[in-house]
Chain A
Amino acid sequence: EPEVTQTPSHQVTQMGQEVILRCVPISNHLYFYWYRQILGQKVEFLVSFYNNEISEKSEIFDDQFSVERPDGSNFTLKIRSTKLEDSAMYFCASRGLGSYNEQFFGPGTRLTVL
């Protein structure tokens, strides 16, 4: 069964450093998403991406964040200058064509900012 994959599974970085989290969505999906979950808290939507541009973003997704689909398979989330409060699990998701189709989530990348 096709699945969303994410790398790395765990990333440790120093405050102020740039990180790139990588995702490979399901191959025929057209809609891509990033969510995050701070330990013990709710899953929070960050951004959705379709047709090579951002469709929607939350208040969390400020200028420190960017997304890119650099090729036909990868979808990345970049955090330009990490802060301690960026420590969280980051989930990528993708969805196929059709307005009401479900989103498929990856296993997540745990980001620890020291």
Chain B
Amino acid sequence: DAKTTQPPSMDCAEGRAANLPCNHSTISGNEYVYWYRQIHSQGPQYIIHGLKNNETNEMASLIITEDRKSSTLILPHATLRDTAVYYCIVRVGSGGGADGLTFGKGTHLIIQP
């Protein structure tokens, strides 16, 4: 799986959009970009994933650059409960289940009141 690079920490004001960048310059054509988050030692929580098109769900939006070498996770209206470590993970899908996730150190997002 391709390596990802994320800033170690970011601050965002409550109610504003939080934009979390991820660099994955060695991504290959069949690899998806996944975002998970971990709130204070709870189990990681899936947020969103995409291949090359921008994606949106009830939690967030994912913007992937045209060359697919980087992406941005957008939390449109951050709340204090969004304070967490956010992980960008690149992986190939595997029909046989050989798809353990490789977590990096992620970005610690702190939402300020």
* Residues in A lying within 8 Å of B, measured CB to CB: 4, 30-31, 33, 35, 37, 42-51, 55-56, 58, 89, 91, 93, 95, 99-100, 102-108
Is A102 in contact with B34, judged by CB distance below 8 angstroms?
Answer: yes
B87: chain A residues at CB < 8 Å are: 43
Q: How far is the CA of A95 from the CA of B95 in the complex (A)?
A: 11
A46: chain B residues at CB < 8 Å are: 100
* Residues in B lying within 8 Å of A, measured CB to CB: 32, 34, 38, 41-46, 49, 87, 93-105
Q: How far is the CA of A46 from the CA of B101 in the complex (A)?
A: 10
Is B97 in contact with A49, judged by CB distance below 8 angstroms?
Answer: yes
Residue in B closest to A55 when the chains form the complex, CB atoms: B97
Q: Which of B43, B46, B100 contacts A56 (CB 8 A)?
A: B100
CB distance from B97 to the nearest CB of A (A): 3
Q: Assess A42 versus B103: contact at CB under 8 Å? Given A91-B43, A102-B34, A104-B46.
A: yes
A56: chain B residues at CB < 8 Å are: 97-100
Task: Give the residue among B38, B43, B44, B101 with the most A Cβ atoms within 10 A.
Answer: B43
CB distance from B80 to the nearest CB of A (A): 21
